Amino acid sequence: MKILANDGISQSGIDALTQSGFEVITVNVAQEQLVDYINTNNIVGLLVRSATTARKELIDACPNLKLIGRGGVGMDNIDVDYAKSKGLHVINTPASSSASVAELVFAHLYGGVRFLYDANRNMPLEGESNFKGLKKAYAKGVELRGKTLGVIGFGRIGQEVAKIGLGVGMKVVYTDPFMGKATVNVSLFNGESIAVHLNSDSMDQVLAESDFISLHIPAQKNYVIDAAALAKMKKGAALVNAARGGVVDEVALVAALDSGHLSFAALDTFENEPRPEVQLLMHAKISLTPHIGAATLEAQDRIGEELAAQIGQLLK
């Protein structure tokens, strides 16, 4: 049986699938050619990340397809309910990339409070001619320790973010309508752990109390962070979106940064991917990454191996 990993898969995932008797194809097929390729090559399993979509039209046009897998968490690029109604297995890997996304959030946070996102732009241009000026410009950094981190959405990734925040000495608050109480286990290097019990607060309370807000919610029909929500945040607070593009009103975000209401923002996801708005890309107060939350070698190995295990159980 043939599996097409159209957006790629780790070597460990390929090895695991091959050992289970599957033929793994890793060629990247253009979206408009995907139906023909699947049918011509008798593909039974399609694996995607965020680039390839699997909509109703593809599902209807590929009668031999038995499984669609998403290497990651969100499945907004797959018509999940429709696929299931047609008898297809739909799988994802919700736990595999959580730690990687959480570490990226903190890379952005540390870079933000010490102006690294801006210093890395300006040092190559002015480091030789204006060293003292830049030193003065970036001399008012702050520490994360002792500050309040607000997490919106407290699933696996949100809890991983909370663990790091607690570990560096932050107060963590969260809001999640589906999780009123949570116990976060902060693991130490020696195998011991510390259990921290938290309760969900209202969205308004988290917005008002937090020095930093990190979003960990699925794609929505409407903005979750719009102009009204931004106005409720503390003056000088910062926002990180490593969740999904479209959950933040980017026009309102730029306005909040320009007015000084927010100190900085960090974006790993964008409304218009793969062509983010130039106002975001050029903004002096925005730390930017190109949707790489799960893009660590360790996470990709875990994703590949988890997909292989699920495929082996479902199709063998």
Catalytic residues: 244, 273, 291
For 186-193, which contacts have Cβ atoms below 8 Å and span 24 or more sequence positions? 187/163
User: What's the CA gap between 301 and 16, in Å, rounded?
Assistant: 11
User: What's the CA gap between 42 and 37, in Å, rounded?
Assistant: 8
Place of tokens 């000495």: 169
User: What's the CA gap between 134 and 114, in Å, rounded?
Assistant: 12
Residue 97: what are its φ and ψ, rounded to 5°?
A: -105, 5
3-state secondary structure of 259: helix
**How many angstroms separate the Cα of 247 from the Cα of each of 101, 152, 260, 283?**
17, 11, 21, 19
Residue 23, strand partner residues: 2
CA dihedral sign of residues 97, 98, 101, 104: negative
